[in-house]
Chains A and B, each alone.
Chain A
Amino acid sequence: MKVLMLDQAKCTGCRACEYACSFEHTGKFNPLDSRIKVNEFWEDLTFVPSVCLQCERAYCEEVCPTSALTKNPETGVVELNKEKCIGCKQCIVACPWGSIKLDHTGKDVIKCDNCGGDPACIKVCYPGALSYEEVEDITNLKVQETATRLKEIAKDLVKGGA
């Protein structure tokens, strides 16, 4: 299963992802219609992107009284059926990440749908803070990164123990 991965260390705070997202979903450039959001902490110039993480146990799905939100078991995406949504905003309350929101009209609920498997945001993220990867691949990469560091320590340990 592929997921949107966010790497805060690489985010430069340019917000191109917000414009790409807005255009992909609405055909217009309006950051308030973006499903992804870059958070700036100006006091120490830190940038943290946030987007729906497509939870396995999705609180938004659990609280939705009309089943407008449902987890697609194949893609893993928590899908929003606009026809069924009554705008009660309980999903917004339930989401621990703040990743379900209202669009610029202040009326319509919007959330990330991974652009149906071809996310627009990652195409404009040159620093590589956003990527769309198989979970297994990411896990392996992280394990290897850590292991590589430990390998150097391990080598020294052998010397010390000999």
Chain B
Amino acid sequence: MIKGGFKGKLLRVNLTTKEVKSEALNEEWAQKYLGGRGYGTRLLLEEIDPKIDPLSEENKVIFATGPLDGTLAPSSGRTMVITKGPLNGAIACSNAGGHFGPALKHTGYDMIVVEGKSAEPVYIWINKGKVEIRSAKEIWGKLADESDELIREQTHPLAETMTIGPAGEKLSRISSVMFNGHRASGRTGVGAAVGSKNLKGIAVRGNEDTPVADPEAFMKAIYKARDILSKDAFAGQGAAMLGTAMLVNVINGVGAFPTNNAQDAYFPEANKISGETLREKNLIRNEGCAECPIACGRVTVVKSGPYKGTIGGGPEYESVWSFGAMCGVSDLDAVISANHLCDKYGIDTISMGSTVACAMELYEKGYMPKEDAPFELRFGSGEAMLKAVELACKQEGDFGKLLAQGSYRLAEHYGHPELSMSAKKQEFPAYDPRGIKGMGLEYATSNRGACHVRGYGTAVEVLGDADQYAYEGKAALIKTLQDLTSALDSSGICLFTTFGLSANELAEMVSTATGFSIDAQEFMKIGERIWNIEKLFNLKAGFTRKDDTLPPRILNEPIKTGPSKGHVEDLGKMLDEYYQLRGWDKDSVPTDEKLKELEVQILK
């Protein structure tokens, strides 16, 4: 029986029939998959055909919390958006900070399952357990942060919101879902899944408490975890001081900072866009998501250019890189402007920056007709980068519409798909696999497409004591980190806690909250189970071993300058070993023995 952590209920909202239903949570699933990403994926496997069009009425979008949301556990305010991903058709889970998750829990529900498609734009208002589907006709077309304000005006000033921007409405495949108007579930195009249902937003406000199974033991566990985090060099000090952009100088310093659409991996002007410079020139204050002692969030102001004076959240390390080095841009104000613009329109910053970089290479190499771009698209121009982001955000003209579909579709359109720096059509983030070998394996095998927050090898390969260029041991490292993150993403807690916390502390918090008997080993097994059912979803959706790959540039073109000069990525060296460690066959299909061990055989 569920004793705590969970509220034990999910809310099902069908936008076609306007039917609203409260259902008991499946306790067996909660035990085997926890909440968030795990539970959501299990539910999708049960209820949708993995082959469907992600933008069709048959797709479902789940907004899920984990058992630690709505408690004092450190950094425990994550909201997971789980759906079949519009960007690539793979299983998608994209999570965000902010305060929506805990507030949803306080309404009495662990998650919301949105089904069907509304004929007219609507938003959902959950007020202390009472649910209304309201017209969003007047809000449709508004920016994500404007929509947050308008919905709170119409509901309650203290409601916490999820909104999409115009990008999600217009079904951009790199569109995001925004929380509190500025925290993003950015990746995999989840905004389009929401937009395809004519759902503009959700507002929640609750008055119930979050129960925990053993309050005394739970408080002991979370104070221990908070203490560890406060003493950690990254989580306790670096991240608060410089935000995640502290990594700019670190990763560039080890020669793994993709530059000019990854034609190189070293950016000589990195210092101009570093966390240090951001702090000195643009930082107003730090922001912490719910219950977060780290507070890596930045609140920044643009100091020059057309968006001078604009205040917003971020930019994160990844966004500084994508609009910065990836486009060869060292104008930090242009980078911050692009970041704030993407948040307002609801577009993923990683995919957007990388898509502009891809366009710049297509343009410079003459692979696209120059007249297709309304202006010169050259690497290094902050002005051109920002104009391209504007075009994509507003989906102006054919080129703007194309940019808003991500780099893969853009490059394919011009006959050069190899220039999209993506895996499974999703743009990879700010770590060049040629310089950090494990990251290539992580990008290639990530179930949702190239991603750094599934198995963050960099934590050990650069920030820890492993050799960044070694192949040995990387398959095991990435597998372990992927399993750990899967369980963590299903607990409602932020990945950054793992800079200080191990599976031991995480399991202690989850078990004392839920009353489930979960030790570190069981926690990792839950993670492995989740990873495997995500893989099963993708296999059913049609993905095969050939999709577990990287752009040819990463495999064949040596890095030209910097500390990693001369390196390429040898993915084959790690991939077979990885499948073997996972208990998968050579075609990346989980063996019956593995599925039996994980008690998920029936899902094959």
Binding site for B on A (CB under 8 A): 9, 12-16, 19-20, 22-23, 26-33, 40, 42-47, 104, 124, 126-127
Contacts and interface: CB of A to CB of B under 8 A. Distances in A.
Given A23-B219, A33-B209, A126 B293 contact: yes
B285 A12 contact: yes
A14 B288 contact: yes
Contacts of A9: 285
A157 B99 CA distance: 50
B207 A12 contact: no
Interface in B133-152: 145, 148-149
Given A45-B311, A126-B295, 9 more contacts: A12-B285, A12-B288, A13-B287, A14-B291, A16-B292, A16-B293, A29-B71, A43-B149, A127-B286
A28 B145 contact: no
B135 to A, nearest CB: 23
6 contacts: A12-B287, A14-B291, A14-B292, A16-B72, A30-B208, A104-B207
Contacts of B106: 30-32
A17 B226 CA distance: 13
Interface string B71-98: 1100000000000000000000000000
B289 A29 contact: no
A20 B72 CA distance: 7
A127 B149 contact: no
Contacts of A30: 106, 207-210
Contacts of B288: 12-14, 16, 127
A28 B287 contact: no
A45 B298 CA distance: 10
B112 interface: no
B411 interface: no
CB-CB nearest 5 A-B residue pairs:
A14-B288, A12-B288, A30-B209, A28-B209, A12-B295
Nearest to B229: A126
B284 A127 contact: no
A37 B285 CA distance: 19
Nearest to A106: B207
B292 A28 contact: no
Contacts of B145: 42-43
Contacts of A104: 207-209
A108 to B, nearest CB: 13
Interface in B199-239: 207-212, 215, 219, 226, 230, 236
A45 B293 contact: no
Contacts of A20: 72
Contacts of B148: 42
B400 interface: no
B70 A29 contact: yes
A19 B293 contact: no
Contact of A15 (B219, B230, B290): B290
B600 interface: no
A14 B294 CA distance: 10
Chain A CB within 10 A, most for which of B72, B207, B284, B299: B72
Given A32-B207, A45-B182, A15 B287 contact: no
Contacts of A29: 70-72, 209-210, 212
A12 B286 contact: yes
Given A29-B71, A30-B106, A42-B145, A15 B207 contact: no
Nearest to A26: B209
Given A14-B291, A15-B291, A16-B291, A45 B209 contact: no
Contacts of B289: 14
Given A42-B180, A44-B311, A45-B284, A14 B209 contact: no
Which residue among A9, A14, A20, A32 has the maximum number of chain B CB atoms within 10 Å of its CB?
Answer: A14
Given A15-B99, A32-B207, A104-B207, A23 B72 contact: yes
Contacts of B149: 42-43
Nearest to B223: A123
B284 A14 contact: no
A153 to B, nearest CB: 24
Nearest to B103: A31
